Structure 1
Amino acid sequence: MTVTLADVAARARVSPATVSRVLNGNYPVAAATRERVLRAVDELDYVPNGPASSLAAATSDLVGILVNDIADPFFGIMAGAAQGAIGESGAGRAGGEKLAVVCNTGGSPERELTYLTLLQRQRAAAVILTGGSLEDDAHLAAVTAKLARLAEAGTRVVLCGRPPLGADAEHVGAATLAFDNRAGARRLTEHLLSLGHRRIGYVAGPADRTTTRHRLEGHREALRVAGAAEGPTLHGPYDRASGYDATVELLRLDPALTAVVAANDTVALGVCAALRDRGLSIPGDVSVAGFDDLPFSVDAVPALTTVRLPLHEAGARAGRLALGAEAAPPGGLATIPAEVVVRGSTGRPPE
């Protein structure tokens, strides 16, 4: 059922005229009253409508691209490629380009929902959500509900590098480009096992992220199939410091480790630094492997063995899907394969 301005007024216990003043910002309103109105707007998921709105059309020329961390090349590459594709393909109502706005959530679930609300109020033409999602049922339900409201209003929803929303979200109609993190991680660990490694430590990402879980599941599956024991696993942020600190702890837990798998390439840099600081050679003493194949991976010393994800291609495709310039994949879901790239940071374990 459509929420009206009168519904907001009733919830906030003010007149409809006061709600209008708060939303239009054209008349002074007491701070406490303004806060009460805005809280009612959020609670009811109200979106202004009609000629008084600056965006009275079904959708605007705005496309929102949500990322966890724009400073992380994983997200920067996808966002940049999506923005480029939108600029190339998107013609706005006045004949110009669509305006692609990158929304940096900082990994905050609250911020993610806030950005979706703001994009809903602006009647965004499309929303692209990148990267893994939070492993929290309440947050997933809130995001799904928000995306459903966006879709109902005509906004295209695209998930890039993010798992599907689930069977209960079919009404969202999202086009999903999901990275095959499990298979990539499994093949990477199989590569280490084929070299003879049996004492493998793992530096995982945050425990509450889908990407972390899927990559760890693939790693463990390879160990299980090979009949190899699981080595120590530590969780932390997807950053260099996490890789460094975790490696120090891994070596304390098992000084005989011959290989370390890192949650991503940035974490792998920290792993390599910690090993070098302790006088260990790579891969002579300890092999190191990462994930994502970020641009710096080939320039690391030694060059980093990793799992290549086609980040630029996926981002560009997400941009085209957001504009309707490319047909959605069959069933709304495309699984993007991951490829192991073997470089100098992995070798046979020491005798």
Structure 2
Amino acid sequence: MTVTLADVAARARVSPATVSRVLNGNYPVAADTRERVLRAVDELDYVLNGPASSLAAATSDLVGILVNDIADPFFGIMAGAAQTEISGPGGSARAGCEKLAVICNTEGSPERELTYLTLLQRQRAAAVVLTGGALEDPGHIAAMSAKLGKLARAGTTVVLCGRPPMPDGDQVLATLAFDNRGGARRLTEHLLGLGHRRIGYVAGPPERTTTRHRLEGHRAALLAAGIDEPQDRLTVHGSYARSSGYTATVELLAREPGLTAVLAANDTVALGVCAALREKGLRIPEDVSVAGFDDLPFAVDTWPALTTVRLPLAEAGARAGRLVMGKEAAPVGGRVGVEGELVVRGSTGVRR
């Protein structure tokens, strides 16, 4: 049975005129109404009648790059490198091979992530690159799997960059997965080798895969070193923001004044950790060692320079761009593990 505009309107609980406005983009519509309409379009698999329906399986020159936060260098570096491969340096891709790369900033919202994918599906996007960690929610995982399946069946190439594999990987051309567990384990082993035993951990949001994997690597290193006491007291979760690092460190020091080291969820969080320590009159690394993760550009310019794990963000983003453009063959098995490199700088030192 053919799905009509009226069916979409009924599902979204709006008028047919509102559905038309959302799909045509020619009239302002409230954000929550827009998302409700697009969700109904997706659930009902609605396509326009007439010529548009015959093009439903075709693809355009559009490539969507989804990021959690474009202001975060972690995502900006990957997106920029991917865009360069998609359009060429300065937009100088070979004639006939040009694609328009569009950055879609989800702000970490699972609803917005699905909305952008629906919009890209309606625009018959040639490819989609999904960057960063994923939300660990069974409902969202199922919705994402279904949505990526629809995109793949319509001819859209899908690549995951810095993101763990989907449970059903058939809809994805390639997955470039960062070894967050291994990187965090090496970072913790470095601190243990310096004599640290009371190590605070400022973790990211508990519902994100990146958070869980890095925390698992940290705790695996502690367990291997014979430190098997419960670690929840020395772990505080927060956002991947500087303010989170500051607030969490104040909390950790209140819980355990004898901390000699703090591991941060990423380099940005580590900046907040350092600020809180200095405010308490503690020296880095003489009193407390600090380490981050990712090796963002500013990490070498902090004082002291930040010990961290370097992820090849630009290289991974560029490879994702080449994969979606067909400049590079998909890896055997579709999955590639991307390792991090321990970078030791002045922010960590021997326990005193």
* TM norm. shorter chain > 0.5: yes
Secondary structure at 2:51's aligned position in 1?
A: coil
Of 257-266 and 44-53, the range deviating more from structure 2? 44-53
Report what 2:197 is aligned to: 198
Report what 1:214 is aligned to: 213
Q: How does 1:94-113 map to 2 (within 5 A)?
A: 95=96, 97-113=98-114
Q: Which ranges in structure 2 are unaligned for 5 or more consecutive residues?
A: none
Secondary structure at 1:177's aligned position in 2?
A: strand
Query: CA offsets per residue over residues 121-149 of structure 1, 9 Å max, x none?
Result: 00000000000000101001001100000
Report what 1:85 is aligned to: 85
Q: CA deviation at 1:37?
A: 7.4
Contact 2:63 2:99 (8 Å CA) reproduced: yes
TM-score (norm 2): 0.88
Paired-residue identity, %? 72
Report what 1:164 is aligned to: 165
Q: Which ranges in structure 1 are unaligned for 5 or more consecutive residues?
A: none
Q: In angstroms, what is the RMSD of aligned CA positions?
A: 3.0
Contact 1:67 1:129 (8 Å CA) reproduced: yes
Q: Distance in 2 between matches of 1:145 and 1:162?
A: 17
Q: CA deviation at 1:322?
A: 1.1
* Shift in CA distance, 273/11, structure 1 to aligned 2, threshold 3 Å: closer
Secondary structure at 2:87's aligned position in 1?
A: helix
Of 141-150 and 49-58, the range deviating more from structure 2? 49-58
TM-score (norm 1): 0.89
Contact 2:57 2:155 (8 Å CA) reproduced: no
Q: Distance in 2 between matches of 1:38 and 1:332?
A: 30
Contact 2:56 2:154 (8 Å CA) reproduced: no
Report what 1:181 is aligned to: 180
Q: CA deviation at 1:323?
A: 1.2
Q: Distance in 2 between matches of 1:55 and 1:295?
A: 44
Q: Distance in 2 between matches of 1:182 and 1:50?
A: 51
Q: Distance in 1 between matches of 2:84 and 2:160?
A: 17
Of 287-296 and 81-90, the range deviating more from structure 2? 81-90
* Shift in CA distance, 38/218, structure 1 to aligned 2, threshold 3 Å: closer
Contact 1:9 1:37 (8 Å CA) reproduced: no
**How many residues are matched?**
339
Contact 2:270 2:292 (8 Å CA) reproduced: yes
Secondary structure at 2:88's aligned position in 1?
A: helix
Contact 1:202 1:233 (8 Å CA) reproduced: yes
2:331 matched to 1:332? no
* Shift in CA distance, 54/247, structure 1 to aligned 2, threshold 3 Å: farther
Hey, which bits of structure 1, 4+ residues long, moved more than 3 A? 3-6, 8-14, 17-28, 34-40, 47-50, 52-57, 89-94
Contact 2:38 2:118 (8 Å CA) reproduced: no
Contact 1:263 1:291 (8 Å CA) reproduced: yes
The residue type paired with residue 347 of structure 2 is: S
Secondary structure at 1:261's aligned position in 2?
A: strand
Contact 1:116 1:146 (8 Å CA) reproduced: yes
